[in-house]
Amino acid sequence: MGRKTWDSIPPRFRPLKDRMNVVITREVPRGSWTMDPERTIAGSMDDALNAVGMTVLDRRAFVIGGAQIYKEALAKAETKRILLTRVLTDFECDTFFPIQLNEDGKAEGWERKTKEELDRWVGETVPEGVQEENGTKYVFEMWERTW
């Protein structure tokens, strides 16, 4: 995750439990990363992947934002899937996901997978259909790279 994403997580929820938390920031020189008990801090996406690879081995790595971090991750051949929470409620905002994943399931270089495929990949039953929390409607989707 990027530094702003890390900062947006309320301190009582940091670090995110049961996972390695890696924060990518310009405050660390590219080509380096450091670890502390709360998080690993990396100077670039490649440094973050190196840090994860050295400590996590065969686990999955997830990117949780922000926009620049998503853009860098999507440019990597290693990025095979997108687990998308499609927010159906309109908000005024200034940051957007860097690629267009259409509601009709079509996108250049990407294909939306079925609910069953999503459940199988994550290893649990994901809520189906439109969900709502505090007046915000959303659906869970999984997309796979087609090229």
Mind listing the pLDDT tens digit for each residue in 50-83? 888 766 556 688 999 889 999 999 998 889 999 9
Instruction: Write down all domains in the chain, each with its CATH number in brackets.
Output: 1-77 (3.40.430.10), 80-147 (no CATH)
Q: Are 64 and 2 in contact (CB under 8 A)?
A: no
Phi, then psi, of 23 in degrees rounded to 5: -110, 125
Mind listing the pLDDT tens digit for each residue in 112-124? 999 999 999 999 9
pTM: 0.85
